[in-house]
């Protein structure tokens, strides 16, 4: 019986030359990874917010903290999400003097990403956010301080995060990796595929398997599902249900409930 073919993750682990730019010392030379601002977007229609997102920086990233921090806490330090404010605000907020002052859209977006990554209910993630001790790290990452969104407010925000908007954010994320010389080919280059992403929902089929790498990920076909990496926070494929949908990892896609 022939040995199983190595997975894409295992192949990359064997290619030390390709992984060299991702060592912590080399990576820090390219940080922070910045989302390119869109000069055509207007300023946020809201002059002030009840939370204040700030990039945490990466000075506390080291070999010890990499073992302690969650993937979310690491991503918060690698990426500066400041320039997402205009994009998110343009899709979600409107000019109006009515109602409460909203929360910073990046604070809300990162809270939603955290919720999806941990597979938490809105009630549970808000309980953690408010908790004096358990919520300290989450508040620091997202920019919440003394005021917090309601469950209905979080639900409304999430409903505005359409798959198309999340796909646009994903594209900006890939561009930030390319600009930092962490991708060999510019995303979208015709005829060449260095990395693929998808923010849309897919029809689930029993012969598909989603194999995901924290930085690079690809899709492969298989007769049965098999998760080969603990970072693969996937929505499980359901067999035999016509029209059932699934999607890629929660930290990189959005699917409205």
- Helix, strand or coil, per DSSP, at residue 34: strand
DSSP 8-state assignment for residue 51: S
In a domain, 199, yes or no: no
Average pLDDT over residues 29-43: 93
- Least confidently predicted of 1-10, 43-52, 90-99: 1-10
Q: Where are the beta strands (DSSP E) in the chain?
A: 33-34, 79-80, 202-203, 208-211, 218-221, 245-246
- Res 221: pLDDT: 29
- Res 120: pLDDT: 96
The domain total for the chain is: 1
In a domain, 6, yes or no: no
Q: 140: domain range?
A: 31-161
Q: Comparing C-alpha atoms, which of 159, 164, 189 is closest to residue 175?
A: 189
In a domain, 169, yes or no: no
Alpha helix ranges (H) inside 143-257: 151-160, 163-179
- Least confidently predicted of 90-94, 98-102, 173-177: 98-102
In a domain, 105, yes or no: yes
In a domain, 124, yes or no: yes
Beta bridge partner(s), residue 245: 203
Q: What does pLDDT average to over the chain? A: 76
- Res 29: pLDDT: 93
Average pLDDT over residues 236-256: 33
Q: Comparing C-alpha atoms, which of 226, 218, 182 is closest to residue 8?
A: 218
In a domain, 227, yes or no: no
Radius of gyration from C-alpha coordinates of the chain: 19
Beta bridge partner(s), residue 202: 246
In a domain, 243, yes or no: no
Q: What is the per-residue pLDDT across 168-221, written as a single tens digit (0 to 9) for each?
A: 999 999 999 999 988 877 877 665 544 544 433 334 343 333 333 333 333 332
In a domain, 172, yes or no: no
| Sign of the CA dihedral with 17 first, then 19, 24, and 30 last | positive
Could you give the CA distance from residue 255 to residue 257 in angstroms, rounded to a whole number? Answer: 7
Could you give the CA distance from residue 167 to residue 196 in angstroms, rounded to a whole number? Answer: 12
Q: What is the per-residue pLDDT across 125-184, written as a single tens digit (0 to 9) for each?
A: 999 999 999 999 999 999 999 999 999 999 999 999 999 999 999 999 999 999 998 887
Q: Comparing C-alpha atoms, which of 218, 147, 167, 176 is closest to residue 75?
A: 176
Cα dihedral 142, 144, 145, 151, rounded to 10, equals -140
Could you give the CA distance from residue 155 to residue 175 in angstroms, rounded to a whole number? Answer: 29
DSSP 8-state assignment for residue 59: T
Within 10 A of 152 (CB to CB), how many other CB atoms are there?
9
pLDDT: which is higher, 232 or 112: 112
What DSSP string runs through 218-233? EEEE-SS----STT--
């Amino acid at each position: 019986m022939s040995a199983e073919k190595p997975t894409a993750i295992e192949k990359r682990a064997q290619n030390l030359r390709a992984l060299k730019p991702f060592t912590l010392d080399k990576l820090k030379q390219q940080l922070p990874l910045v989302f390119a601002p869109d000069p055509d977007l207007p300023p946020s229609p809201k002059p002030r917010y009840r939370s204040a997102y700030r990039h945490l920086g990466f000075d506390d990233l080291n070999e010890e903290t990499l073992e302690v921090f969650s993937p979310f806490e690491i991503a918060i330090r690698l990426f500066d999400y400041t320039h997402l404010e205009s994009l998110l605000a343009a899709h979600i907020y409107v000019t109006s003097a009515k109602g409460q002052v909203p929360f910073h859209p990046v604070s809300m977006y990162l809270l939603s990403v955290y919720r999806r990554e941990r597979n938490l209910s809105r009630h549970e993630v808000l309980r953690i956010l408010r908790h004096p001790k358990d919520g300290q790290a989450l508040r620091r990452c997202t920019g919440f301080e003394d005021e917090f969104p309601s469950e209905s407010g979080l639900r409304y925000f999430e409903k505005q995060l359409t798959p198309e908007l999340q796909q646009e954010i994903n594209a900006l994320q890939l561009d930030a990796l390319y600009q930092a010389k962490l991708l060999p080919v510019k995303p979208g280059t015709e005829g060449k595929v260095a990395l693929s992403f998808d923010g849309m929902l897919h029809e689930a089929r029993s012969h598909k398997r989603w194999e995901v790498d924290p930085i690079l990920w690809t899709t492969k076909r298989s007769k049965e599902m098999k998760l080969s990496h603990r970072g693969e926070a996937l929505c499980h494929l359901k067999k035999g249900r016509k029209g059932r949908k699934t999607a890629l990892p929660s930290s990189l896609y959005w699917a409205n409930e």
